[in-house]
C-alpha cells in the first residue's frame, strides 16, 4: 500500500497544502501505525504534517486509527490520566508528585510518557528513583493501577505502534503528529479524566474541537516545560471540558515568593530528595501545585456527583 496521494495533499507547504477529512486521516494513520508503508513515506508524512499543522478533524481521524493500538481498561474508581512526554529542563519535574496527591484523593492515576531527551529528567526516572510503580508489561497495566493506585506506564508498553512513530524524531530531528496524539491518549472505558497540555498558542482551539469529536472529561492547560503541571510560580488558566456540565475555566494564579525547590538540582536523585522533604513535611508543599490539585479535585467531584 502507499500513502503517496495523501502526501501530495498535505505536503505542498504551509500555503499550498490542504487538510484531510476525518476518514482519510484515519486511513492514513492506520497505515502509518501498522507500518504497512515504507520508512521513507512515514518520514515524509511526519515532515509534511509538521509544516502544515493538524486540524481537529485530522487529529480525530488519527485518534480513530490509534484506538485499535491501545488497551481497553475498566475500573471501579475514577481514573486520571497525566501525559508526561517532555520532562524537566529548568525546574523540578512535578508530574509524579501531582499523580501521588491525586491518588490520595481517591483517583487511580496513570502517568504515561517516554524518555526521549537524555538531557531532561523524565517521569520514569523519578518514579524509579522513588521506588514507585512502573508498569513492566501491558497485560499487567490494569492490575498495577488497581493495586498501587498510581503508576507510570512507558508508551512503548501502552502503545508500541505510537511509540515507534514518536521515535522517528530521533532520525528527522523534529516532533510529529504522534507527539500530539500521545497527549490525547485515554484507554479507559469507565469514568475517567485527563489533562491535555499544550505549548503552541494555536492548540487550545484545536484541542477543544477535538474533544467535541471525541467527548471526554478533559482539562486543557498550557503546560510547564511541556508537562501537565503548574510552574513553581504560576498556575496557568485551566479549561474544563467535562461531559456532565457546561465548559468552565479558572483564571491564572501567581505565587510571587521564590520557591525552595529553585535552590536544588533537578536530576532524578535531587528530585527524590525534594519529594522526600515535601512528603515528610520538612518543607511546605509547592503552592501552585497545591492549587492545581485542589482545583482539579473540586471540578472532578462535581462531575462524579
Q: Is residue 82 classed as helix, strand or coil in its secondary structure?
A: strand
3-class secondary structure per residue, 181-249 = HHCCCCCECCCEEEEEEECCCCHHHHHHHHHHHCCCCEEEEECECCECCCECCEECCEEEECCCCCCEE
Rounded distance between C-alpha atoms, residue 54 and residue 50, angstroms: 8
Domain parsing of the chain, residue ranges: 4-69, 79-304
Rounded distance between C-alpha atoms, residue 17 and residue 49, angstroms: 10
Rounded distance between C-alpha atoms, residue 219 and residue 79, angstroms: 13
Q: What is the pLDDT of residue 177?
A: 95
Four-point Cα dihedral 236, 237, 243, 244, nearest 10:
110
Residue 145: name the closest of 196, 185, 111 by CA: 111
Q: Tell me the mean pLDDT per 10 residues along the chain, length 305.
A: 87 84 97 95 94 95 98 97 95 96 98 90 98 97 97 98 95 91 96 92 88 94 94 90 69 64 83 94 91 95 84
Rounded distance between C-alpha atoms, residue 279 and residue 287, angstroms: 14
Q: Is residue 238 classed as helix, strand or coil in its secondary structure?
A: strand
Cα–Cα distance list, 183 to 54, 228, 232 (Å): 14, 9, 22
Q: What is the pLDDT of residue 85?
A: 96
Report yes or no on whether pTM surpasses 0.85: yes
The residue whose grid cell reads 510529529 is 176
Domain 4-69 and domain 79-304, same fold? Reply is no
Q: What is the pLDDT of residue 36?
A: 94
What does the DSSP 8-state code read for residue 244? T
3-class secondary structure per residue, 12-72 = CHHHHCCCCCHHHHHHHHHHHHHCCCCHHHHHHHHHHHHHHCCCHHHHHHHHHHHHHHCCC
CATH number listed for the domain at residues 4-69:
1.20.970.10
Rounded distance between C-alpha atoms, residue 98 and residue 227, angstroms: 11
| Pairing of the two strands 79-84 and 192-198 | parallel
**H helices of 183-286, where?**
203-213, 268-280
Q: What is the pLDDT of residue 22?
A: 97
**Cβ–Cβ contacts within 10 Å for residue 233, how many?**
18
Fold of 79-304: Pyrimidine Nucleoside Phosphorylase; Chain A, domain 2 (3.40.1030)
Rounded distance between C-alpha atoms, residue 107 and residue 249, angstroms: 21
Q: What is the pLDDT of residue 261?
A: 59
Are the CB atoms for 195 and 292 separated by under 8 Å? no
Residue 56: name the closest of 196, 195, 201, 203 by CA: 203
Q: What is the pLDDT of residue 176?
A: 94
Amino acid at each position: 500500500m502507499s500513502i503517496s496521494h495523501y502526501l501530495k495533499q498535505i505536503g505542498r507547504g504551509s500555503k499550498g497544502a490542504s487538510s484531510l477529512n476525518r476518514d482519510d486521516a484515519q486511513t492514513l494513520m492506520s497505515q502509518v501505525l501498522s507500518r504497512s508503508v515504507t520508512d521513507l513515506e512515514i518520514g515524509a508524512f511526519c515532515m509534511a504534517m509538521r509544516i502544515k499543522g493538524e486540524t481537529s478533524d485530522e487529529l480525530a481521524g488519527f485518534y480513530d486509527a490509534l484506538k485499535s493500538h491501545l488497551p481497553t481498561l475498566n475500573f471501579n474508581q475514577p481514573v486520571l490520566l497525566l501525559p508526561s512526554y517532555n520532562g524537566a529542563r529548568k525546574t523540578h519535574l512535578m508530574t509524579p508528585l501531582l499523580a501521588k496527591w491525586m491518588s490520595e484523593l481517591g483517583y487511580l492515576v496513570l502517568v504515561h510518557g517516554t524518555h526521549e531527551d537524555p538531557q531532561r529528567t523524565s517521569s520514569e526516572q523519578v518514579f524509579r528513583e522513588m521506588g514507585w510503580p512502573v508498569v513492566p508489561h501491558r497485560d499487567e497495566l490494569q492490575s498495577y493501577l488497581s493495586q498501587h493506585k498510581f503508576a507510570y506506564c512507558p508508551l512503548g508498553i501502552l502503545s508500541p505502534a505510537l511509540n515507534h512513530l514518536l521515535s522517528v524524531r530521533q532520525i528527522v530531528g523534529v516532533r510529529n503528529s504522534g507527539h500530539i496524539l500521545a497527549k490525547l491518549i485515554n484507554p479507559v472505558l469507565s469514568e475517567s479524566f485527563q489533562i491535555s497540555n499544550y505549548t503552541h498558542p494555536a492548540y487550545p482551539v484545536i484541542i477543544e474541537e477535538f474533544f467535541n469529536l471525541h467527548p471526554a472529561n478533559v482539562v486543557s492547560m498550557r503546560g510547564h516545560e511541556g508537562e501537565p503541571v503548574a510552574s513553581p510560580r504560576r498556575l496557568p488558566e485551566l479549561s474544563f471540558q467535562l461531559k456532565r456540565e457546561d465548559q468552565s475555566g479558572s483564571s491564572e494564579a501567581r505565587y510571587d515568593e521564590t520557591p525552595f525547590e529553585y535552590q536544588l538540582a533537578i536530576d532524578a536523585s535531587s528530585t527524590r530528595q525534594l519529594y522526600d522533604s515535601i512528603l515528610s513535611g520538612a518543607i511546605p508543599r509547592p503552592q501552585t501545585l497545591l492549587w492545581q490539585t485542589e482545583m482539579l479535585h473540586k471540578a472532578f467531584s462535581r462531575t462524579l456527583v
